[in-house]
Structure 1
Amino acid sequence: MTRKAGRLKSHIAAAFLALSACVTGFAENASATTLVAVPHSGLRILDPIITTAHIVRNHGYMVWDTLLSYDADFKPQPQMADFTVSDDKLTYTFKLRDGLKWHDGAPVTAEDCIASLQRWGKRDTSGQVLFDKTESLTAADDKTIVLKLKEPFTYVLDVLAKPSSVVPFMMPKRIAETPADTAITEIIGSGPFKFVKEEYQPGVKSVYEKFADYVPRSEAPSGLAGGKVVKVDRVEWISMPDAQTAVNAIQSGEIDYLETPSVDLLPLVEGNDELTVEVMNLGSQTMGRMNFLYPPFDNKKIRQAAMKAMNQKDVLDALIGNPDYYTICGSMFGCGTPLESELGADTLTKSGDIEGAKALLKEAGYDGTPVVLMQPTDVVTIKAQPVVAAAALRAAGFNVDMQAMDWQTLVTRRASQKPPAEGGWNLFFTNWIVPEIMTPLNNPMLNGRGTKGFFGWPTDAKMEELRAKYIAAKTLDEQKAAAAELQAHAMDEVSYIPLGQYKIPSVWRNELTGLLKAPVPVFWNVEKKD
């Protein structure tokens, strides 16, 4: 066993015994180049189509590949397939490139990809719109996919290249035929890494090995596009819920990469010349989401009261602390984006309105129904929001039942449509990277399709009309006007509560080179020196 591997084992065992098993078998891999990373959360769900959890999306990019990907300028580029578009903009033809194989050795076929797109299209907000406009999706031969539209849809390539939540990952047909609301059980992709099922410990350890038969594109990597050249033999994700433990581990060289250090601990790593500290993406928006199916938030005035009680500064001060890393932002589409609008966000971007919230609660006849607020305790970017919100809601007169759990339990529970008293919920908080929410088409929280939409399940016909208006817009000015109208409506309905933007840098040992700036942390192109 290498010296670093030995220190890794002893450190984790000393820090918390639950992780002691994570290094079992590491010695037999000592000759391989192994990159040890601490992601923002433990991995417990393995299907990237049934959840929008970022840790599952990140796992998805390790194992699966996509037909198209965004480059560093957020332009769609070929990935698994090259494409052509007919002059009338109604037919899109995708040709799979040579050498694509599944991890079990079978060739990737057009039928595989069609089944994958169909399953994804049932779950994803923008995918639902794409299939609304699709006349047919067929295989012309084993390597050719033909998408025919009922009418021109400007965003076809952008939707298929979307970087996050929910990503259209390609899977073997037999796996993709799993119902869209049922988790897959076979983790077989065609991506640059293979998932090592035998070493998987849910929430503790995930292992990926280089896929020797992966054939990368010839282009230089850019964002999530270009050649995915794997330069390490093995990547291990190790969970370290304690922020100080993780910082100690990156400083001592026991781990190589830390995705999201606690901001208050950044001074400890910023002064270490053995480490690189850098923001790798556009940042994230944090927000609260209510359950529209049950009291009390099936009542619009009570939702409005909850929003009035909250304000962004209190949340961001608790979550981030350092204003250099956060931005007060009332836009549902993110600040610094083309569709930025502050309509309806007055109290959020100021100091809230507790007295106004109390008045609305009284007007709505709130009867003290408990608000089941789920509080994750193990992810530094999501721990503070529920605590601050609970205090604000209680000050306004809400009866708050805050229930502690780990993030992966929350991710599972939020999918439940049971009443809150029977294992359901009323309110949770989450984060989206800015590219996930920057348009009405791709923002999952602005979906009015009821139980076919994102967790919380608002049924909102007006929302769908306004999304259609945005999609039909021909110019940027028309898009901005449609987006502003949609934001005003969504704020009035309290589709969700935007609570500001933040950026957290990642930290890695200087032995690592080649990390790519992208919306998602990726481990291809990364080289580790001895």
Structure 2
Amino acid sequence: MFRRDLLAGAAAGAAATALPRFAIAQPTAQRVIKYVPHANIPNIDPFTNTAFIARDHAFLVYDQLYGMNDKFEPVPQMVQGHVVENDGLLWRFTLRDGLKFHDGSPVRGRDCIASIKRWGRRDAFGQELLARVADMTEDSDRVFTIKLNRPFAKMLEAFSKVTTSCLFIMPERLANVDPFTNISEAVGSGPFRFVQNEWVPGSSLAYVRNPDYVPVPNGTPSMTAGPKIVHFDRVEWKIIPDASTAAAALQNGEIDWWEQPTADLFPLVARNRNINVDVINGTGLIGIFRPNHLTAPFNNPAVRRAVITAIDQIDFMTAVIGDATVPGYQTLKRDGIGFFAPDSPSASTVGLDRYKKSIDAARAELQAAGAMGAKLVLLNATDLASINASALVGADLFRRMGFDVDLVSADWGTVVSRRASKNPLEQGGWSGFFTFWSGVDHWNPASHASIRGHGDAAWPGWPTIPAIEAQRNAWFDAPNEAAAKAATTEMQRIAFDEVPYVPTGMYYQPTAYRKNLTGMLKGQPPLFWNVRRG
């Protein structure tokens, strides 16, 4: 759910003379890492803001009860361990000794309970957990117990997930804030402290090393699991919407790491002998078109199916990432993408034959549905390159299908605000938008927000598809892998009929960083521990 805008590679050199000079707020640049993220962060609450940028910020500031390694296995992080009793109905967790929040207060069981409750009100996986919770109690400062009314075998997967919203542990006073009201300060127990008074929305954020952080005492760093060893005193995020400016800053050594170089510019920076270009998120990024199920014409499933008939996923991914490659990847784009990540245990080929790649066939379906010439209001975020590229391709496709298209372009923040509206088109509503999710977001039904069919409580677009919800419940209760696979296969079959959204393909996003940075961990989100200079 993100991105950036593209400019010609030749502009990068010209932009170098106009670069801002970034102040260094510590004794030596060796102890500072300067980073350009994929987007601005207008809201620092990791539970109310489901954008990846809020999650990435939160992983610096907060810690989790369990981390997730690069094999997608939960590993104890804040907890010393747990026991399960009473046929899976009682879970008792013991925190590691010495954990403290950035305000100096100890991390206690009551903080964990309050954080679980606040997170669980907003997150799909958390909602499933809370529906099975009979009680949560603090046995002592370091021990808390969760009593269930039904077993929940996926408890640790819920606690360790890296998909938004993640379960971050915050002080009870913040966790008690209404989950639909943004918290205004970021206080965690993670490896970095947020320097709130240096935060300039749309410009910069800063973090300093937390001297009280207690890393896991053993194990190997792997994604969000294992020891989080910090080698920098300070992390500075620089919001640079202009891609050519970011590319020039990286080449000149004014920044150390550019999270998402654009398709036209990453070949340019890759030619610089001082820069590495790599793919660290091996699960890829999956594009989707999200129709609004509350407004015509996409309140008609036949019209939604016509979009699938017309789409060629490679057209969308070529617009997003081009034809360039990086070492280890013969291509950075993939088609044949269904409703689950293609490398996941949930993936299936059922329904993929619906992609006819035919405008004529789609026009015939629209005609039969009585939607030829229907008005569409498409939302487009021009400051995020992959979304902008997808929206431009999509708008052209919809016009050729026979829709009357109004492409409304704005920044991502404005798009996010407007897509929350359930008003009809003539009152500021919308018909659809394009966005991206990480492959791990579509790994299984637990955190797959865009496939949900629970109506008004669903992610913007608000599909009501009870059959999908029934199969999601069957997956949670599946007694074995075969039953779980059967549930996700049936979810995909239903999804191709009812179309909660349209998958538009998948690509792998390169990242670019100075070669004097070492120890970069694979996986997601972008991680600032284990990285060192030299």
Q: Which residue of 2 aligns with 1:176?
A: 175
Give the Cα separation in 2 of the matches to 1:267 and 1:49: 36
Give the letter aligned to residue 29 of structure 1.
Q
Contact 1:89 1:152 in 2 (8 A): yes
Contact 2:137 2:144 in 1 (8 A): yes
Give the letter aligned to residue 377 of structure 1.
T
Q: Residue 61 of structure 1: which of 45, 48, 59 is its match? A: 59
* 1:316 partner SS: helix
Give the Cα separation in 2 of the matches to 1:35 and 1:124: 32
Give the Cα separation in 2 of the matches to 1:490 and 1:384: 25
Give the Cα separation in 1 of the matches to 2:63 and 2:429: 34
Give the letter aligned to residue 222 of structure 2.
S
Q: Which residue of 1 aligns with 2:272?
A: 272
Give the letter aligned to residue 173 of structure 2.
R
Range with bigger deviation, 444-453 or 502-511: 444-453
Q: Which residue of 2 aligns with 1:444?
A: 449
Q: Which residue of 2 aligns with 1:308?
A: 309
Give the letter aligned to residue 67 of structure 1.
L
Q: Residue 343 of structure 2: which of 315, 331, 336 is its match? A: 336
Contact 1:375 1:383 in 2 (8 A): yes
Q: Which residue of 2 aligns with 1:3?
A: none
Give the Cα separation in 2 of the matches to 1:234 and 1:448: 43
Give the letter aligned to residue 445 of structure 2.
P
Deviation, 1:527, is 1.3
Give the Cα separation in 2 of the matches to 1:484 and 1:401: 36
Give the Cα separation in 2 of the matches to 1:458 and 1:253: 47
Deviation, 1:77, is 0.7
- Which ranges of structure 2 fall in alignment gaps of 5 or more residues? 1-13, 324-329
Contact 1:297 1:303 in 2 (8 A): yes
Deviation, 1:255, is 0.7
Deviation, 1:477, is 2.2
Give the Cα separation in 1 of the matches to 2:108 and 2:431: 43
Contact 1:296 1:366 in 2 (8 A): yes
2:229 pairs with 1:225: no
Give the letter aligned to residue 129 of structure 2.
L
1:73-107 Cα offsets, whole Å, 9 max, x none, are: 11101111132222612211111111211111111
2:34 pairs with 1:36: yes
Contact 2:185 2:196 in 1 (8 A): no
Q: Which residue of 2 aligns with 1:14?
A: 18
Give the Cα separation in 2 of the matches to 1:363 and 1:272: 55
Change over 3 Å in CA distance of 1:420–1:137 after alignment to 2: farther
* 2:265 partner SS: helix
Give the letter aligned to residue 72 of structure 1.
D
1:474-518 Cα offsets, whole Å, 9 max, x none, are: 222222222111101011111111111111221111221111112
Give the Cα separation in 2 of the matches to 1:124 and 1:249: 37
Deviation, 1:12, is 7.9
Give the letter aligned to residue 497 of structure 2.
D
Deviation, 1:131, is 1.4
* 2:366 partner SS: helix
Give the Cα separation in 1 of the matches to 2:197 and 2:409: 30
2:316 pairs with 1:319: no
* 1:29 partner SS: coil
Give the letter aligned to residue 344 of structure 1.
G
Report the RMSD for the aligned CA atoms in angstroms.
2.0
2:385 pairs with 1:388: no
Give the Cα separation in 2 of the matches to 1:311 and 1:206: 39
Contact 2:209 2:230 in 1 (8 A): yes
Contact 1:289 1:456 in 2 (8 A): yes
Change over 3 Å in CA distance of 1:419–1:227 after alignment to 2: farther
Q: Which residue of 1 aligns with 2:474?
A: 469
Range with bigger deviation, 390-399 or 331-340: 331-340
Among the aligned pairs, what percent are the same residue? 40
Give the Cα separation in 1 of the matches to 2:414 and 2:188: 25
Deviation, 1:293, is 2.2
Give the Cα separation in 2 of the matches to 1:303 and 1:459: 14
Deviation, 1:380, is 2.6
Range with bigger deviation, 267-276 or 428-437: 267-276
Give the letter aligned to residue 50 of structure 1.
T
Kindly report which structure 2 residues correspond to 1:59-208, keeping only aligned pairs within 5 A, or say none.
59-81=57-79, 82-86=81-85, 88-208=87-207
Give the Cα separation in 1 of the matches to 2:397 and 2:208: 46
Give the Cα separation in 2 of the matches to 1:192 and 1:11: 35
Give the Cα separation in 2 of the matches to 1:421 and 1:500: 31
1:426-480 Cα offsets, whole Å, 9 max, x none, are: 2111211111111122211122222222221212221111111222222222222
Contact 2:83 2:91 in 1 (8 A): yes
Contact 2:15 2:244 in 1 (8 A): no
* 2:134 partner SS: strand
The 4+ residue runs of structure 1 with deviation greater than 6 A are 10-13
Change over 3 Å in CA distance of 1:415–1:141 after alignment to 2: farther
Change over 3 Å in CA distance of 1:100–1:12 after alignment to 2: farther
Contact 2:344 2:444 in 1 (8 A): no
2:432 pairs with 1:427: yes
Give the Cα separation in 2 of the matches to 1:509 and 1:303: 45
Deviation, 1:135, is 1.8
Give the Cα separation in 2 of the matches to 1:395 and 1:105: 60
1:232-284 Cα offsets, whole Å, 9 max, x none, are: 01111112222222222211111100111112322222232211221112211
Give the Cα separation in 1 of the matches to 2:176 and 2:90: 25
Contact 1:43 1:206 in 2 (8 A): no
Deviation, 1:369, is 4.8
Change over 3 Å in CA distance of 1:178–1:371 after alignment to 2: farther
TM, length-normalised to structure 1: 0.92
Deviation, 1:395, is 0.9
Q: Which residue of 2 aligns with 1:405?
A: 410
Range with bigger deviation, 318-327 or 265-274: 265-274
1:146-178 Cα offsets, whole Å, 9 max, x none, are: 112222222111111111111011111221122
How many residues in Structure 1 have an aligned counterpart in Structure 2? Answer: 511
Kindly report which structure 2 residues correspond to 1:488-499, keeping only aligned pairs within 5 A, or say none.
488-499=493-504
